[in-house]
Structure formats: structure tokens, C-alpha cells
Structure 1
Amino acid sequence: MIYEIKLSGAKEDDGKIELHRLAHLAQSITDIASGALRIRLTGISFASGRRNERISNAIKIHLADLRTGSTVLQLECETFKDTLSGQQGDVFNPGILEVLPDQTPMTLVMESFRQAIDYKEGINYLDKGLLKKLKSFEKIFLEEDESVTISNQGSIQELKLKRSDIKKIQKLEESIPEPQEIIINGIVDELKYSKSRISIATADGSVNGILSDMLEPQEISKYWGKNLTISGKAHYQPNGDLSFIYIEKIFEPSEADKYFSRTSKKETVEQQILRQQRQLKNSNHLNEIVGQWPGEEDIDEILKALD
């Protein structure tokens, strides 16, 4: 599919583009597309671990042309139906992937910007890592009134970005606490759909967890229904609530682990006040730590099913 990125409003936007700026634009688009796809498949946009070659190949975007009329870059990329499915044309797994086959890396980029600019609590595919990549797009702008327009020859609604939009994304990103080290002790619930996602029943309620790429599913499967201590990084929502834990290590539980185990929140004073107001309206403490869960399919299982 063909997309156009139009740079207009700056003196340099005259059918040319400086190589350093082009490189940053290319890197930003690629990073956003990669994070947007990974968050749909795994629940987290960027994480250390093994690189997935199929995802890397699926987000390839090619510069096909550079035209005048401001500066217009013509890009080409394939749908995920063509890049993630096998040569036999297998259909995607239902659920969160029912709309993904007809999407492309560029549509995910556009969707990520729209969700961040017009942010609403609830189901969305954003986290702090992806918001940081969206925020870095500000380096593309040379002047305050310059705009960047992304379109698909009229087949989808165009996206027009200005520096003020990136400022809104920056405020949203800054409202999310940084991931922090955390220790949790609880009972591992049995999984129904995935080998890399777990649910842990703690004294404060159920907590969502994602296994690091460095952990094999069988390392935790023997603990299903039993007590377990995990450590990793807690990831948060903009309101300060815990979204999920990216699990890096697992241990046999001990008294020390139980003492240090916590589902703490790193909140601003304003966020604490808002949380207390919500508690008065709803005494269900489980709502304070359960975040939106993008989906339940394990990425390796999904990709294997598409072959």
C-alpha cells in the first residue's frame, strides 16, 4: 500500500529533505510501527530480550519517491496479512488480531498518534515506551507552524500533526510513572490462552504479568496454583494504577519476600487525590491494580499458527 508524508510550513520543505532529518524520520516511523505491533501481540511495546525476525520483517517500509509540492515522501509497505501470515495465506487468529491482517505498519503509526493525542482511559494500545517514541517525533519539526501530514491517497482519514500535538503526547507520557523494580508474592493462576502471560492472585487482588523473553514458559508452569515470588518491573497507567509486571525472575517464596512484596504505586499528589476519590465511589480494591490487558495470545503461538 502507498502512503504519503507531507512536510510543509518550513523553508526547507521545498521538495528536498536533509539526510539527517530523513534518517530521524525513518527511525521514528520504524520504531513506532515496531512498538505498536509488539504491544498488540505481547502487551508491551519495547522490552529487552530476543529479537523476533518476523516482526522486524513485517514492519519494513520503503521510500518509493520524493516529490515537490512542499516535501512529499511516498512510502510503500505491505499489509500484515502478507508479511505475518505464511505463504499458504493463513487467516489470523480471532480476538485482538481480527482487524490486524488488513492493517500495515503505517496504519499502526497513525492509530498510535491518534490514540495518544485524543487519549481516553480504557482499551488502547499505548504504554510509556511507545509514548516516548511518539514524543521523539518532535525532532522532525523545524518551525513552530510546520505540519506533517500522513495520508493513504484518500482511502483512510489523513493524520495532520503539529508541534502542539507532540506537546500533548509529552504531557501524557510524563503523567505515567517510570517502570520500577517490584517484588510480588502470590498464587499463580492457570493460563487459558498464553504461555507468556500469567495472573497472580495477591493479597491486594489479581495482578497481570508478562514473562520476559529470557524466561521459558515451563519455568513457571510448575507453579500454577501454587505460591510464587516474582521480581521485575512494574508498568503503570497514566492514572498511576498498576498495569502489569514485566517478570524478569521467579523464586520459591520466603518470609523475606513476603515482607518486601508490594504493589506500590509511584504517584504524584494529584494522582493520589484522584485515586482516593475513586475509592470513595467504588470500594472494589481490585480496580486499583488491574489494568487494561491488550490481549491474551502468546506471540510465538500466534506466529507459529500463521505458518
Structure 2
Amino acid sequence: MNYDIKLQGAEEDNGTIEFDRLIQLAENIKSIAKGALQIRLVGFSKLMGQPPKKISNALKIRLSGLYEENIYTALELECEPFSKYLSGWQGDIFNPNILEELPNLTPVSLVMNTFRGVLEQDKDYEWVDKPLLKKLSDFKSLFLTDSETIQFSNRGSIPELILKKNDFDKINSIQESIPEAQFAVISGKLDTLKYSASRILVETNEGFVNGILSEDISTEEISKYWGKDITLTGTAHYKPNARLSFIEVERVFPMEESNLFFNKIPKTENIEQQIKRQLSEKKHFNYLSEIVGQWPGEESFEEILTQLD
């Protein structure tokens, strides 16, 4: 399929493009397409190591032309639909319907959909996480002036996308609103997905949690826990709507009864979200009453120190 990217509004947009800028444009588009594809296939945009060969082939984009028209620089691109490369691919079990839409998309149309989703649907757009928003934000550096526009089109077959420099104020705002990654401990039954040796699922009382194993955890080490109850610790990452995106797993060990306290999906809220939730619940909190009479109990000081180790 053919796409056009048109740069208009800067003095340099005269039918040519400087080599470094061309390289930067190509790297940004490929990076966004890769993250947007991975978040649909496995639930998050950032994966460790090299992507599978199928994904690498599916993300190929070729520059087939460069021309000037109506005082702008236009680049003609070619890429194939994902259906050509991802046939038989097992998708994210949380979003099985995504494999009905994805085959008809291409790397470039996926980039267009991602920008459009963030700019039009704001924090309700589910197909982004913090790493992918960072990639979208990096695209801003391609603009040479405040008045320049960068336009993506498929020659009328899909709605064009016109990006302006001030669009990235909204993208940055969404990126900043996402809760910071934080330490998390959860417990549940360990499961795995076949398409990634580093991807796991943990079934908790509140649903499934996505996990990606750190380089310190080998496949052999984690395999002995398949189907068993475990406790894991790691870093929790969140989506724009403050829902958990995934956990970078750093430690895994057998679950004990004392770990059942952690059998919940970790949540976090920024100040604005906390106030909004508390107002909607119409509750007045007395935090002192939550702890009065709770400690000290029957535990000795030494026992408490042991539990904190």
C-alpha cells in the first residue's frame, strides 16, 4: 500500500529533505509502529531484546519516492498489510478481537491510528502506555517551525492525519498524567503465553496481570512454577487511565499463606484522580481512625522486625 508524508510550512520544505532529518523521520515512524504493534499483540509496547522475525518483517517500510508539490516536500512510502506476516499469530488474550482489525492495517496506518487515538480520545485510548507516549512525544523534534505541518495520507482511502507542533502539548500532558512506575508485590497462579518466553500472566483474585521477566530470571527458573501459586515482586507500569499495564518481574518465589494479602492488582492514583474518586464516593475519610487501636497488637517487636525483612 502507498502512503504520502507531506512536510509544509518551513523554508526547507521545498521538495528536498536533509539526510539527518530523513533518518530521524524514519526512525521515529518505525519506533512508533513497533510499539503500537507490540501493545496490541502482547499488551505493552516495550519488549526486551530483539522482536521475533515475524514482527520485524511486518514493520518494513520502504521509501519509494520524493517530490515537491504546492510548496511542500512529499515522501512516498510503501508497506504491506500485517495479514501478510502475522497469519496464525496468537494475540493478546485480553483483546482477542484485535486480530480481526490488525490484519487490515499497515505500519504507517497503525502510526496514524495511534496519533489520532491519543489526540481524539485522550486518556480513554487504550492502545498506549508510557513508553509509547514517549515515542509519540519524540516526534515533535521533527518540526522545524511552529507553523509547519506534517501530513500523513493514503491518497483518500483513509482519513488523513495532520500533525501540528502544538498537538504535542496534549501528548505531553497525557504522558505526565500517567502514574510513575512503582514497586509492586502480587500473588496468584502463574500462567504463560506461547508467543514470548519472557511474557507471563498471573491470575489474581481481581483478574490477570501482565508480566515481563527481567534478564535475571531464566526460562528454566520460571518454568518450574507454571500452573502454581507464586508471589512476584517488580516494577508496576500504568496506562493513561491509571490502570495497570504490566509488571517488570524481578523476583519470583512460591506463595505462602502470609502472601495472600498481596493477591490484588496494584493500583495508583494521582492527586486529581484521588480527589475525583473521593468526591464521587461522597465519603469523608478519617485516616487516624484507620490506625487507632490497630497496633501494637499481640506481636512482639522482634516478630514485627522479622516480618519486615
Bin of the TM-score, shorter chain as denominator length: 0.7 to 0.9
For this pair of structures, how many residues does the alignment match?
273
Superposed displacement of residue 198, structure 1: 1.9
Q: Which structure has the larger Rg?
A: 2
Give, as a single letter, the amino acid of the residue that structure 2 aligns with 1:200: E
Q: Using CA pairs below 8 Å that are at least 6 residues apart, which structure has the higher relative contact order?
A: 1
Residues 136 and 101 of structure 1: is their aligned pair in 2 closer, same or farther, counting only changes over 3 Å?
Answer: same
State percent identity of aligned pairs.
Answer: 41
Cα distance in 2 for residues equivalent to 1:210 and 1:101: 26
| Aligned position for 2:62 | 62
| Aligned position for 1:208 | 209
**What are the equivalent positions in structure 2 for 1:276-295 lying under 5 Å apart?**
276-280=278-282
The answer to whether the aligner puts 1:53 opposite 2:53 as a matched pair is yes
**What are the equivalent positions in structure 2 for 1:107-256 lying under 5 Å apart?**
107-122=109-124, 124-184=126-186, 186-188=187-189, 196-201=199-204, 205-212=206-213, 216=219, 219=222, 222-224=225-227, 226=229, 228-253=230-255
Conserved? CA contact 1:234–1:242, under 8 Å: yes
User: Which stretch of the first structure deviates more once superposed, 130-139 or 229-238?
Assistant: 229-238
* TM-score computed with the length of structure 1 as normaliser: 0.77
- Structure 2, unmatched stretches of 5+, are 284-309
Superposition RMSD on alpha carbons, in Å? Answer: 3.1
Cα distance in 2 for residues equivalent to 1:263 and 1:124: 18
Measured against aligned partners, the alpha-carbon deviations of 1:208-229 in whole angstroms (never above 9, x if no partner) come to 1234385549935745353x11
Conserved? CA contact 1:239–1:271, under 8 Å: no
Measured against aligned partners, the alpha-carbon deviations of 1:49-104 in whole angstroms (never above 9, x if no partner) come to 3432221121011111110020000011111112333xxxx698763201211210
| Aligned position for 1:5 | 5
Cα distance in 2 for residues equivalent to 1:217 and 1:41: 24
Cα distance in 2 for residues equivalent to 1:91 and 1:207: 21
User: Which stretch of the first structure deviates more once superposed, 111-120 or 48-57?
Assistant: 48-57
Residues 190 and 279 of structure 1: is their aligned pair in 2 closer, same or farther, counting only changes over 3 Å?
Answer: farther
* TM-score computed with the length of structure 2 as normaliser: 0.77
Residues 254 and 273 of structure 1: is their aligned pair in 2 closer, same or farther, counting only changes over 3 Å?
Answer: same
| Aligned position for 2:306 | none
Cα distance in 2 for residues equivalent to 1:100 and 1:218: 34
Cα distance in 1 for residues equivalent to 2:260 and 2:188: 12
Give, as a single letter, the amino acid of the residue that structure 2 aligns with 1:224: G
Residues 151 and 55 of structure 1: is their aligned pair in 2 closer, same or farther, counting only changes over 3 Å?
Answer: same
User: Which stretch of the first structure deviates more once superposed, 236-245 or 152-161?
Assistant: 236-245
Measured against aligned partners, the alpha-carbon deviations of 1:218-273 in whole angstroms (never above 9, x if no partner) come to 935745353x1112221112243433323343112368867899865554321221
Superposed displacement of residue 148, structure 1: 0.5
Cα distance in 1 for residues equivalent to 2:171 and 2:9: 21
**What are the equivalent positions in structure 2 for 1:88-99 lying under 5 Å apart?**
95-99=97-101
Conserved? CA contact 2:190–2:200, under 8 Å: no
Give, as a single letter, the amino acid of the residue that structure 2 aligns with 1:158: E
Superposed displacement of residue 43, structure 1: 0.5
User: Which stretch of the first structure deviates more once superposed, 229-238 or 118-127?
Assistant: 118-127
Cα distance in 1 for residues equivalent to 2:141 and 2:192: 43
